[in-house]
Amino acid sequence: MKIVEISSLQNDLVKFVVKLQNSKFRKSEKLILLDGDKTLVGLINDGVEFEYIFLKKDSPFINKVNAKEIVIVDDKILKKISTVVTPSKMVGVIKEPQTQKDIFLNLKKIVLLDSIKDAGNLGTIIRSACAFSMDGIILFNDCVDLYNSKTIRAAAQNMFKIPIIKADLNFIKRLMNNHKLISTVVNSDTDFMNFKFDDSFILAFGSEASGLSNEIIELSDEKLTFSMDNDVESLNLAVCSSVAFALIKLNQRFKPSLT
């Protein structure tokens, strides 16, 4: 582990990290910029390896973090490289996880997100999926950048606790050999509350603006709707998915035994 100290805003590494705030550049480098103290503390405690972590000299995490390079900096540099209005006490850079798609063939409870545009919603869905023991998440069609800083902060320290991939329709059809595709839609004959989930399924959610794409709806084995009281027309997507995950966990916890 290497420890260096930087004091200049013109340092090449500082300039490089600032460029990682651009999604296109970040993707080309296959790196993720992380700020937000709660997120970073969680990752440090989980033993995640950082390519770089930027800390102040008096940080209690200098001797705890797993990093290839620890960079000691001051407040002005943290402010420069941070994406939040109130700068974090730490900023980190890690390699983008390379998750193999085929592991999803052996997962049971899979979430499919179709054209999700809101970074906060995506992060909250990831957090709830972890909380209620979903096994994996598929991003389908044109979704917001998974490693957008807002997504990472909304997911808190849970971003890397669940496998997440991008996949096309052909891969989803492969999964359907052993998984039932279940779509959430505005109007259907089946209430989500009354549906009994099999052990292996893909549960699909669309964007708040457009819902699920026709290709997913037409491919679906089941279509479910949340019935709501008091003339409530709809729920926020992240709220809706969180309720769904909790209901599935409750449903499976009390599933009758075959023995």
pLDDT recorded at residue 254: 63
Is residue 257 scored above 70 in pLDDT? no
Q: Dihedral sign, CA of 44, 48, 54, 57?
A: positive
pLDDT recorded at residue 230: 84
Output the DSSP codes for 46-69. Answer: TTPEEEEEEE-TT-TTTTT-EEEE
pLDDT recorded at residue 36: 82
Tens-place pLDDT, residues 150-163: 999 899 888 899 99
Mean per-residue pLDDT over the chain, rounded: 91
pLDDT recorded at residue 255: 63
- Position 143: which residue type? C
How far apart CA 64 and CA 44 sit, in angstroms, is: 7
Is residue 140 scored above 80 in pLDDT? yes
Is residue 34 scored above 50 in pLDDT? yes
How large is the average pLDDT for residues 159-179?
A: 95
Is residue 49 scored above 50 in pLDDT? yes
Q: What distances in angstroms separate CA 228 from CA 56, 225, 231, 240, one per listed residue?
A: 50, 9, 7, 11
Between strands 66-72 and 31-35, the pairing is unpaired
pLDDT recorded at residue 259: 46
Q: Contact 115/210 with Cβ under 8 angstroms? A: yes
- Domains recognised in the chain with CATH numbers: 2-95 (3.30.1330.30), 101-253 (3.40.1280.10)
pLDDT recorded at residue 235: 78
How far apart CA 255 and CA 87 sit, in angstroms, is: 47
